[in-house]
Structures are given as C-alpha cells and as structure tokens.
Amino acid sequence: MPVVKRIKQNSRCFIERVLPVEGNIVVSVDDKVEPFDHLGDCFFSQRELILPKGFKPYGLRTEKRYYYSGSLLGKVGSNEVFAPYDGNLSLCERVYVFKEIDKKYIVLSGVWGIVKSVYGKKSILLETQTKDILLSISTKVQASGELVVFPNPTDVLKRSYLENFAKGIKGKIIYVGHNVSLDVIERAYEMEASAVIVGSAHKEVFDFAKSHNFSLGIISGFGKIKTPDVVYKMLSAVSYRYVFFEGDKNLLRIPIPFDNVNKGINASESIEPIKHVKPNMTVQVLQNPYFGWIGVVDRVCESSIFVRFGIDKNSVEIKLPNFLIIE
C-alpha cells in the first residue's frame, strides 16, 4: 500500500535570511550560528497607511509632514483620521500615504548552522539541519516566525479563543488544531499572523488564504480530519521555536541542533513508497463514514483490513485499497 511519511529528517539543507533593504551584515563565511544570533540589521519603514479617496489632510503645507502617534491626520468626510504610529504624511501620485518612521530591523539566524555565503549587504545563506513536516496542501507563500501551538481542540477553534489565547500573534506561525473555520482564518489574517498550520479545513478557508496571499498549511486534507498524533506531538515539542513555512514545497521546516541529528540519516534518505500492511501500523482511511480518520490496524485479511480508532476496542472493516499507511 502507498506510504505517506509526514515527518522527514533533513541533515543538510540551506536557508536564506534576507534583510528587507541593504544594511549591515555582522557575520562572515564559516561562522557557526544559533537561532538567536544577530546576522545583520537595517533601517526602514515597516508600516504604511494608504488614505482613502476624499481624505483631506490637516496642517499639511509642504510635500511631507511629521505626525506623532495619536495626532489628527485629517478627515474623510466628517470622520477624523488619527495617526496610528509616529510617521510622515505625503502625497504620492494623487494618493495620500502615511509611512511609519524608519526603525531598526534585526534579522536573526533562526537556526543552528553555518554561514555558507554572504551576498552584498542584504542576504546570508545558512547551512543547517531540520525536521520537515509534509503538508497535504498549502498556499504558495513563504513565511517564518516563532511557532505557537494551541492545545489541540476536539472541536473547531473559536474566534474568541484565538483572540484571548494569543495576544500578539503578529509575525508568528500558529498551529490551531484539528480544523479551522473561515472566521478564525480571517481573524488570524487581520491580526497579522505570519502563517496558520492546521489539521484540516474546508475549501472556502483555503480559497480565502490563497486570494489574500496568506500562508496556510493543511496537514491532513480538506474536510474535517484529525492531525496525526505523531505530527501534533512533534509540533508541541518545539512550540516557541523559530520555524520556516515553505508553501511552494508543502513543508514546515523545524530547525534542530547539530547534536539532535540522528546518525546515518542524510538529505538523500530513502523512503519506501510502497509497503505491505501489517498489524499495529497507523493508517488514514479513505472510506465513508470514516473518511480521513486515522487509526491502527488490528488485523489484515485478504481483501480488507480491520482498523481501531482511538481507545475504542472494536475495529471496523476497511476494504482495499481505501487507506494510506502513515509514518
């Protein structure tokens, strides 16, 4: 039967860390780095507000004016608009734009690794080692950030829980549980999460993320399907670690220290795509009414297998070839 390997160890891969604009690089080729090591820094405006049509500025008598956070920028009709942060207001191609003042931006390593090359004043290529979680489907976006793992809920995560549990999820990659609803993904986008990882979701959720160029990784597939226990345990074990979402490769990359790399495993590690099913193997069922469920093989017959789900001692018959072996 086909084998799906959800977690793969990669003892040699390359990750590029890039400054948004040219700045100061403080590492050199062959330097060893750890996740919180400073690689470089630069100054640039990190936020901007495009004012709507009909905006009338207050006190703008030159090409550009500085406003303190909370001060009056102007009006749209009878509605006053206030500065959300310290910045400069200017007219750009007939549109008023309010840009935050330049602030220092620091890029950290995020990995245990070695500096392989430095490109100009902007980019550093690192050689590192990771554990890669294979995603069933993801938006073709790249993101990185601190991983926040919510307690694995048995039901759909509520929007209010997202807001109350995760104060300040901006820039973070969050795992939200077995399933995510549309209102939760919309709120995560509004709160500027870097990415959302989830066991499963309906297509409308994926379509929203895709249309907004938002990073979404689905582990098990469309519908309402559990996250495999082995994946959830892995995510829980590395909560608050800096991780990398590579949507174009359907991967979540988790850096690991050098001393955690298993001997004898390398980047060209071979995977058996087909195996004979045996008792005690973990499988994902593709047969109604258990479609998407993950269980353990109880016994194997000539044209079917019997699978147990959770703590239930009773097993159900699944016909060949309506399942996948999960590793």
> pTM of this prediction?
0.75
Q: Which band of pLDDT confidence, cut at 50, 70 and 90, is reported for residue 162?
A: low
Query: Is the residue at 12 inside a domain?
Result: no
**Closest by alpha carbon to 57, among 41, 34, 74?**
74
The answer to whether the CB of 260 falls within 8 A of the CB of 234 is no
**Closest by alpha carbon to 62, among 99, 102, 89, 36?**
89
- The domain of 302 spans 282-326
Q: Which band of pLDDT confidence, cut at 50, 70 and 90, is reported for residue 284?
A: confident
Q: What is the CATH number of the domain that holds 226?
A: 3.50.30
Answer yes or no: do 146 and 229 share one domain: yes
Q: Percent of the chain having pLDDT more than 70?
A: 86
Which tens digit of pLDDT belongs to each residue from 134-151?
888 899 999 999 999 886
What total of structural domains would you count in the chain? 3
Alpha-carbon distance of 239 to 88, in angstroms, equals 38
Which tens digit of pLDDT belongs to each residue from 229-248?
888 989 999 988 999 999 99
Answer yes or no: do 221 and 140 share one domain: yes
Query: Is the residue at 306 inside a domain?
Result: yes
Helix (H, G, I), strand (E, B) or coil at 229: helix
Answer yes or no: do 51 and 155 share one domain: no
Q: What is the DSSP string of 116-131?
A: EEEETTTEEEEEEEEE
Query: Is the residue at 112 inside a domain?
Result: no
Dihedral through CA 282, CA 284, CA 287, CA 289, nearest 10?
90
Neighbours of 272 (CB within 10 A): 9
Q: Which of 5-9, 56-60, 194-198 has the lowest mean pLDDT?
A: 5-9
Task: Give yes or no for residue 67 having a pLDDT over 80.
Answer: yes
Residues 6+ apart with CB under 8 A from 30: 114, 115
Query: Is the residue at 70 inside a domain?
Result: yes
Alpha-carbon distance of 185 to 214, in angstroms, equals 9
Answer yes or no: do 154 and 226 share one domain: yes
Query: Is the residue at 106 inside a domain?
Result: no
Dihedral through CA 231, CA 233, CA 234, CA 236, nearest 10?
120
Tokens 């090359």 map to which residue? 117
Q: Which band of pLDDT confidence, cut at 50, 70 and 90, is reported for residue 255?
A: very high
